[in-house]
A and B are shown apart, each in its own frame.
Chain A
Amino acid sequence: MNRKLIFFLVSIAYLILISYGLYSVYTVEATLRVKEPPKIKPENKIAIARTEIFGKLERPQVIFNHGKHEEAFKKEGCNTCHPEKDGQILFDFPKTVKKKGKTAVMNAYHDQCIDCHKKSSSENKKTGPVNCGDCHKEKEKAIQVKYPVFEFDFYVHDKHVKKLKEKIGKDDCGLCHHSYDINEEDETLALVYEKGTEESCYYCHEFGKKRGPELTAITTVAAKKGLDIRSASHQQCLNCHLKYKEEYLKKGEKEACPTECSKCHTGKYRTVAELEKIVRPDRDQKDKPFIDIENSKMKGVTFDHKSHEANSKTCRSCHHETLNACDTCHSLTGKPEGNGINVANAYHHVFSEHSCAGCHNKKKEEKKCAGCHHFIPAMDVETMNPKKETCTACHSGKKDQIAMPKPLSTAGLNKDKVKKEVEIKVLEKEFEPSKFPHLDIIDKLVKVSNDSKMATYFHGNLQTLCEGCHHRSIAQAEAQKDTPPNCKNCHMTAYDGQNLNRTRLLSAYHRQCMGCHDKMGIEKGSSVRFKEGDRCGTCHKKKVGGPTEITHIKNQNVAKQNKNNILNVWRPK
């Protein structure tokens, strides 16, 4: 009997396990989808995880409400929690860490936080938790707290300069700016200030970027001291703000000298257009310097530095290493300061972020420009023979003279040759012929070009615009002929199996036209437009009751007379 009972119970157990197993196995797909960790608004909170010290955390991270603590210790000041050095508050935490290593840091956190909470509690004040789980909350395990980077743009810089002048009556850039003398043996004397050498904090305090030899050495020192851009900025900015906050508050300026996290880290950034009118800091830069490299083969370039300043958010867009001229580090044949990059590449490398040609190339990706420029390959000066006009646009050899071409105009066009409307019916089958508003498009492109100073400068004349679509035509040759530069002159109707690079006519039209509309963000006539209405019909209406492209294909199955035509084209021997 006993045995029978055991067998019965075991059978029941197995049945339950089988059913449960099958159920969980059948629904396993739902568990495979990875959940995105929730992001919360920063709101003056900080996520304490310190994974760079602790590695994989044993307990969940602590979401620390810094704002509350700041409010509570307004009178006592930041040095209640943060260490001080030479009268400056270092915004590190914890205040003191006795030894190195995970345990010491953990104990330092616990000692400082919990002791203070215990103390307040014993004084019957409203205070924070002392139990492990009340700070290390399980449900806050995966939360991400990210503060948007604060951009100290020219507007803010200008405000600081003006406020300082207001306060002390003169410009004293040394209050914030300094540089590090790497050759100074005594570290305490290494930080110096020399007027006329003011630069961005990012040069020395931004780690992880590729730098020249001098800056690499300096950033190594900064890294050792833990002075990344975050620490350095907080140390530099907050101490000053703390010092003068009261003063400005008394004057009635409540928003001056912000110390709360979210007051600076707003996530709002000014655009280039908004900063255009702000006066750039003065470092004795010329408005139109003449760049002439000794022993170079090309004529000198008069460079409109002032207008380029207005078109950049920071000087570092171009002055990526120091706030000096490019040829300081980049010589004709390359030197160590410039990481071996010679001056030709420094100015002309098409894919660099800092070179002239590179930045201009990047600009071509903008909506207004990309319609044509997406399909025109970037010209690499060394590998493709450039036209003389392309070079002489900049290399004029004339000092203080920038030859600005006139705005484009369609006034001089021969309306007989340059048609107002072109009817495309060479591929007519399933759709009606397409009526292409040729002149309207030229007018539009002319307007787009004239609206941009850079475009006007580089486009030069109207024929450059024609090459946007008539991309392999030579304008001078076309001008001498009576027949227009049709797409079908080069693109075959039939599929060209020998030259897969050159698409057939159907695709040439669709990719050129729709591609341009796509890149320029013109919804009508673009390829992505899933609203009601007939996408194809925007350019060509479907023929009612006429032969469809599809039935034409079906007929091809039996129409062997087509065989030879297409066979020779795409079937290689």
Chain B
Amino acid sequence: MDRRNFLKIIGSGVAGAATGNLLTPGRTLAKEGTSAKELYGILVDTTRCIGCRRCELGCAEVNGLPIPDISESKNENLLKTIRKTSDAQYTIINRYETEKGTIFVPKRCMHCNQPGCVAACLVKAMRKRPSGHVTWDLNCIGCRLCMISCPFDIPKFEYNKAMPRIQKCNLCYDRYNNGVLPACVEVCPTQALMFGSRRQILDEGKRRIAANPDKYIEHIYGEYEVGGTSHLYISSVPFEQIGFRKDLGTVAYPEYSTGFLYAVPFIFVLWPIVMLGMNRATKKSKEDEGHHEEKGKH
């Protein structure tokens, strides 16, 4: 082996190891180093929601979305079908008929503690802020992997625009920075939505359940689901009856891809070394090599 070959071999090995280290996910769990002390969220008490849809109105007005018509006659027909959030509506109300009567449930981004959408975003357009807000930024490339990675199917894409955006609730991050409540919380007439630190609203949810055992079922949705979310729901009927999935598990979604990501540096280092070895091992003697050169095969 001459010097040139030797350098080539070492070079490719180092390059492999270096790139492997560069791409090693140091923080694969989508947790940012937080300087903030608390994660903020909203407690949604579905026994208090009266389905007036003023939260939809407030959200639309604050975010420059089309203002929905929330008159009575409109509501009646609209709430007959189960709706989903859309690229023009960050939050919607759904109506469910259950054994405990009519229940209204607001649906919006859950602001997970470890969001799948944040882990999926390759340009950090989706970010989990230190205060718990999961926000979207304009450096997005529109690959829509966040839509695939969200267990709640929340991010919505503006397909019909030439300059599309990903639309979802951002817990009114701008308003938070100005020291005011999210629009939906501000407008809700029955305080079905309660804003506070996750610790506080979790305590309040547990207090309400403990104080009224016949009124609530003993579960806070979002406490542990998908590793915990900042939107917590309490309800008087089992959550499957009001449109929540119970099969999402308690594993945070980014953890599902950590297995693969942890394997990356190993492959980056081992593969070149193994292949180089194989290449050297299968090398024929010098005479045959010369024979090859003469024939001029390609």
A–B interface present (Cβ within 8 A): yes
Interface residue from B61, B62, B72 paired with A535 (Cβ < 8 Å): B72
Which of A238-246, A403-411, A524-532 contacts its partner? A524-532
Q: In the bound complex, how far is the Cα of B72 from the Cα of A563, in angstroms? A: 34
Q: In the bound complex, how far is the Cα of B75 from the Cα of A132, in angstroms? A: 55
Q: Which 7 A-B pairs have the closest CB atoms?
A: A507-B191, A527-B50, A563-B179, A530-B76, A500-B204, A567-B179, A510-B189
Whether the Cβ atoms of A570 and B195 lie closer than 8 Å is yes
Residue of B nearest to A549 (CB): B187
Is B129 in the interface zone, CB < 8 Å from A? no
Within 8 A of B (CB), among A495-524: 495, 497, 500-501, 503-504, 506-507, 510-511, 514
Whether the Cβ atoms of A507 and B50 lie closer than 8 Å is no
Instruction: Pull 12 A–B residue pairs with CB atoms less than 8 Å apart, ordered by A.
Output: A495-B181, A501-B204, A529-B72, A534-B71, A554-B61, A563-B178, A563-B180, A566-B179, A566-B180, A566-B181, A571-B179, A572-B197
Whether the Cβ atoms of A514 and B50 lie closer than 8 Å is yes
Write out the residue numbers on chain A whose beta carbons fall within 8 Å of the beta carbon of B54. Answer: 549
Is A553 in the interface zone, CB < 8 Å from B? yes
Write out the residue numbers on chain B whose beta carbons fall within 8 Å of the beta carbon of A497. Answer: 195-196, 200
Residue of A nearest to B101 (CB): A528
Query: What is the total number of residues of chain A having a CB less than 8 Å from a CB of chain B?
Result: 38
Is B222 in the interface zone, CB < 8 Å from A? no
A429 to chain B, nearest CB (A): 11
Is A31 in the interface zone, CB < 8 Å from B? no
Write out the residue numbers on chain A whose beta carbons fall within 8 Å of the beta carbon of B102. Answer: 528
Q: In the bound complex, how far is the Cα of B82 from the Cα of A572, in angstroms? A: 37
Is A562 in the interface zone, CB < 8 Å from B? yes
Interface residues on B, range: 35 or more
A426 to chain B, nearest CB (A): 14
Interface residue from B38, B58, B72 paired with A572 (Cβ < 8 Å): B38
B206 to chain A, nearest CB (A): 11
Interface residue from B73, B180, B183, B190 paired with A532 (Cβ < 8 Å): B73
Write out the residue numbers on chain B whose beta carbons fall within 8 Å of the beta carbon of A564. Answer: 179
Write out the residue numbers on chain B whose beta carbons fall within 8 Å of the beta carbon of A551. Answer: 61
Write out the residue numbers on chain A whose beta carbons fall within 8 Å of the beta carbon of B75. Answer: 530
Is B174 in the interface zone, CB < 8 Å from A? yes
Residue of B nearest to A565 (CB): B179
Most chain B CB atoms below 10 A, which of A506, A529, A531 = A506
Residue of A nearest to B48 (CB): A511
Is A21 in the interface zone, CB < 8 Å from B? no
Interface string of A532-573 (1 = CB under 8 A from B): 111110000000000001110110110010111011001110
Whether the Cβ atoms of B58 and A557 lie closer than 8 Å is no
Write out the residue numbers on chain A whose beta carbons fall within 8 Å of the beta carbon of B181. Answer: 495, 566, 570
Write out the residue numbers on chain A whose beta carbons fall within 8 Å of the beta carbon of B43. Answer: 500
Interface residue from B51, B175, B211 paired with A556 (Cβ < 8 Å): B175
B148 to chain A, nearest CB (A): 19
Q: In the bound complex, how far is the Cα of B58 from the Cα of A272, in angstroms? A: 50
Is B154 in the interface zone, CB < 8 Å from A? no
Interface string of B167-207 (1 = CB under 8 A from A): 00000001100111101011111110011110011001001
Q: In the bound complex, how far is the Cα of B174 from the Cα of A567, in angstroms? A: 14
